[in-house]
Structure 1
Amino acid sequence: MKKYKDLECVLLIDDDISTNFIHRRIVENAKINVAVKEITSAKEALDYLTYSGKYQDLESSPKAGIIFLDINMPGMNGWDFIAEYKKLDERHKARIVVVMLTTSLNPDDELHAARVEEIATYLHKPLNLEAFSTIANTYFEEIKEN
């Protein structure tokens, strides 16, 4: 299994449980030593990142290195999440690669994502093995074992 520096956890933020399940399997099939956390609401994801709410006692849990973020979710959507994410203390978002992962065909969403510094890339669902591996290899340094 591969291991990458600063990639402890992949955070899947999507209100669709089956999509999170499929994306978890993609990450697992990449044969990378990384935890996967599935969260179905943007508000809960912010709590996870800041160790608040039900995550207040879990500061020892793996830190997210990659976030796959859906745009269209009830309540707080992906854009709302990004607006709140921008306000987080740097220690809660250091070294996190945010990937907007969506079914949206609205070209304005892709243009908007390109203008948001916090969003590394914009992809259409479903996530695939090649795209995940490319993101890991692009943004993280592989730890070579002797």
Structure 2
Amino acid sequence: MTVDDEKVDQMLYRRILERSDLVDRVIGFRMAQDALAYLRLADRDPVDVILLDVNMPQMNGFEFLEHAVAELGDDFVNGVVIMLTTSLNPEDRARALQFDVVRDCLDKPLRRENLSAIAEMLKQGPTTSTTK
């Protein structure tokens, strides 16, 4: 799952992910609220990776995580959350990593070489999604 308000970034992520042969399906959302609504669906496909933009309008990545954990509990994602940012503020990275479910905070844009590290994280299994 990709959650990023930037249309160009969404297209880039989809292209990188589909060409990697590491994924079966990419689900993209430009608004965090829409991604949260999808995660609330009882009959949705499982989500093993969420690539989550930090800075988005209406609901940012941190607010998305807070809502997902509060509403859906520890099982809102059965894998890995990677936050993506253009921020140079080290406090944003520190805040992202305060969420147990967040496995890394990467600079945007996502690059193909990031995928092998994400695949390794998936092999290690999910973490819990409560905040510290």
TM-score bucket (shorter structure): 0.7 to 0.9
2:96 aligned partner? 113
Structure 2 equivalent of residue 50 of structure 1: 40
Give structure 1 stretches of 5+ with no counterpart. 1-10, 142-146
- Structure 2 gaps of 5+ residues are 125-132
CA distance in 2, matches of 1:94, 1:70: 16
Report the CA distance between 1:31 and its aligned residue.
1.3
What is the TM-score normalised by the length of structure 1?
A: 0.77
TM-score between the two structures when normalised by the length of structure 2: 0.85
Alignment match, 2:13: 23
Q: Secondary structure at the match of 2:38?
A: helix
Query: In 2, distance between residues paired with 1:94 and 1:118?
Result: 8
Aligned twin of 1:122: 105
* Amino acid aligned to 2:97: A
Which ranges of 4 or more aligned residues in structure 1 deviate by more than 2 Å? 88-92
Contact 1:64 1:96 in 2 (8 A): yes
Q: State the alpha-carbon separation in 2 of the partners of residues 87 and 100 from structure 1.
A: 18
Could you tell me the percent identity over the aligned residues? 34
| Equivalent residues, number | 124
2:48 aligned with 1:65, yes or no? yes
2:97 & 2:23 partners in 1: Cα distance?
Answer: 30
- What CA distance in whole angstroms lies between the structure 1 residues aligned with 2:67 and 2:74? 14
CA contact (8 A) 1:70 1:78 kept: yes
Counterpart residue identity of residue 132, structure 1: L
Per the alignment, in what secondary structure is the counterpart of residue 78 of structure 2?
A: coil
TM-aligned CA distance change 1:74 to 1:23, over 3 Å? same
Q: What is the Cα deviation at residue 72 of structure 1?
A: 0.9
Instruction: Name the amino acid aligned to 2:3.
Output: I
